Amino acid sequence: MAVVSPREAVELLNKAFYTPGEVAALASVSSSTILNYIHDGRLAAVKLSERTYRIPRKAVVRLLGLEAPSIVVTQRPDAAIDL
């Protein structure tokens, strides 16, 4: 079986959203584990209906440990802000 690098794995995730079942398969866990992550707030997801969730691509990338959080914060304390 070919070895896939983390970068290649990230590039294979080319959809904006994934179902809990798809994420479970990617993470080799059960769908109920993924739903528990969502309910615990450990995994970002949007609820479309009572039993339908969609998980954003970046959350999947983070769950799989393929990419660390990379938030760019700019602090400009002296900037003039118009209220």
Partner 1 sequence: MSSDGVPLAEGQLRRRRDRLGDFLDAWGDLTIDDAGESAGRRRLEFVLHAPGHDLADEIVVRYREYYRRTRVGDWLLAKYAYEYLDIARKRRLAFHMHPISSRPLMPHAHCEDADGLADDEGRHHLRAVELDLREAHETFMRLYASEAGPDCDSYLPLVVNRAIDD
In angstroms, the CA 9 to CA 24 distance is 15
Site map (CB under 8 A) of partner 1, residues 18-57, x = contact: -------------------------xx-xxx-----x-xx
Task: Please tell me what DSSP assigns to residue 68.
Answer: -
In angstroms, the CA 60 to CA 27 distance is 9
Residues 22, 29, 58, 64: which binds partner 1 (CB under 8 A)? Answer: 58
Helix (H) or strand (E) holding 33: helix 31-40
Task: Please tell me what DSSP assigns to residue 65.
Answer: T
Shortest Cβ 45–partner 1 spacing (Å): 9
Which residues of the chain form contacts with partner 1 (CB under 8 A)? 10-11, 14-17, 43-44, 46-48, 54, 56-59, 61-62, 69-83
